[in-house]
């Protein structure tokens, strides 16, 4: 049986990271001196929708100059870096109240980790070697260096990591695939930081991210695969489509939801984000379990919920 993990912004929230709307609040402050951009964000459903409008003026009817667009994109990155600085200043990834059970011993149980997050929480504080015997470490396939530079007394240094040679999977190390890139990743054509509208087209234009997406699909279509989803609100149509199509082609695929709304997050996402584009419905994804409690509770002595989570691996 194959066990894989998909994380969204709600995962990092357990360590003080921002959800999308929380990051948007910081972004509005950064854009306050730029009235047109500030109004664009404020009058849009979210900052990603606003960025999509700014990037497609012919379609949206919004007139944003190249200089203004750069200001907008740079402000988003600065908000992410502010979050990274706070995450980097943490002593470790241990959750408040952890007793006998550690998140750092839980994560290595997965055959692979897929993330929609562009923050650096895992780079700063996670290494699969925390569970001796299975992995010698974790790594980011196709990125150089494959392992982020260790923090020195909580100091966060902005070092770009570049796309290198995409080698065969190293069976000794746990792979981590950041499906939407990362705030510090670049290739020969620029940033690998997927945000705003047109995500699917952008991913297809980047060989590394396209391959990551293909690897995700390959895992989803393996017989007897179980996918745990932590903190994803089902707002990305291209991800929803991959999940639905994989479920349709692989009847043995099961989904375990870790979210304050449990599996209702699926239905809310389907309701809120499938209106115009006729995306496939996620409401029928086969649910093999759910946890509605915070990870701080589950790993902080909540034996009942922890045991429920561990049944995912049975």
Residue range 180-229, pLDDT digits in tens: 999 889 888 888 999 988 899 999 999 999 999 999 999 999 999 999 99
Same structural domain for residues 120 and 242? yes
Contact of 266 with 284, CB cutoff 8 Å: no
* Residue where one domain finishes, among candidates 63, 88, 113: 88
* pLDDT average, residue stretch 174-184: 94
For residue 114, the cross-strand partners are 6, 177
pLDDT at 309 over 60: yes
For residue 151, is pLDDT > 80?
no
pLDDT in tens, 51-110: 988 888 666 567 888 899 999 999 999 999 999 999 988 888 888 667 678 899 899 999
CB 219 within 8 Å of CB 4: yes
Statement to judge: residues 282 and 231 lie in one domain: yes
Minimal CA–CA distance to 238: which of 158, 179, 174?
179
Q: Residue 314 — pLDDT band, cuts 50, 70, 90?
A: confident
In which region does residue 287 sit, left (phi positive, over 0), alpha (psi from -120 to 50) or beta (all else)?
Answer: beta
Residue 16 confidence (pLDDT) above 60: yes
223 and 252 Cβ atoms separated by less than 8 Å: yes
CA dihedral 195, 200, 206, 207 (to 10 degrees): 140
Domain count, the chain: 2
Do 201 and 263 belong together in one domain?
yes
Q: What range does the domain containing 287 cover?
A: 2-18+94-313
Strand partners, 143: 163
Strand partners, 177: 114
- Last residue of one domain, picked from the residues 88, 119, 142: 88
């Amino acid at each position: 049986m194959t066990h894989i993990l998909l994380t969204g912004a709600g995962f990092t929230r357990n360590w003080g990271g921002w959800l999308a709307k929380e990051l948007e609040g910081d972004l509005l402050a950064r854009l306050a001196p730029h009235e047109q951009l500030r109004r664009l964000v404020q009058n849009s459903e979210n900052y990603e929708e606003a960025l999509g409008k700014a990037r497609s003026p012919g379609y949206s009817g919004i007139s944003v100059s190249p200089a203004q667009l750069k200001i907008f994109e740079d402000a988003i990155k600065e908000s992410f870096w502010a979050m990274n600085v706070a995450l980097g200043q943490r002593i470790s990834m241990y959750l408040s109240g952890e007793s006998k059970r550690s998140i750092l011993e839980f994560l290595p149980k997965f055959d692979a980790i897929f993330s929609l997050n562009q923050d650096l929480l895992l780079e700063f504080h996670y290494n699969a070697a925390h569970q001796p015997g299975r992995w010698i470490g974790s790594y980011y396939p196709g990125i150089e260096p494959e392992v982020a530079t260790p923090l020195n007394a909580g100091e966060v240094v902005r070092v770009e990591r570049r796309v290198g040679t995409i080698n065969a999977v190293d069976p000794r190390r746990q792979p981590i695939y950041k499906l939407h890139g990362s705030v510090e990743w670049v290739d020969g054509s620029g940033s690998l930081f997927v945000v705003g509208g047109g995500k699917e087209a952008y991913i297809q234009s980047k060989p590394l991210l396209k391959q990551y997406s293909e690897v995700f699909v390959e895992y989803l279509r393996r017989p007897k695969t179980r996918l745990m989803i932590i903190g994803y609100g089902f707002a990305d149509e291209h991800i929803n489509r991959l999940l639905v199509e994989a479920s349709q082609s692989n009847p043995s695929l099961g989904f375990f939801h870790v979210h304050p709304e449990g599996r209702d997050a699926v239905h809310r996402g389907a309701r809120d984000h499938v209106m115009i584009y006729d995306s496939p419905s996620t409401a029928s994804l086969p649910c093999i379990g759910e946890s509605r409690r915070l990870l701080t509770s589950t790993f902080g002595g909540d034996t009942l919920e922890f045991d429920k989570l561990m049944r995912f691996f049975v």
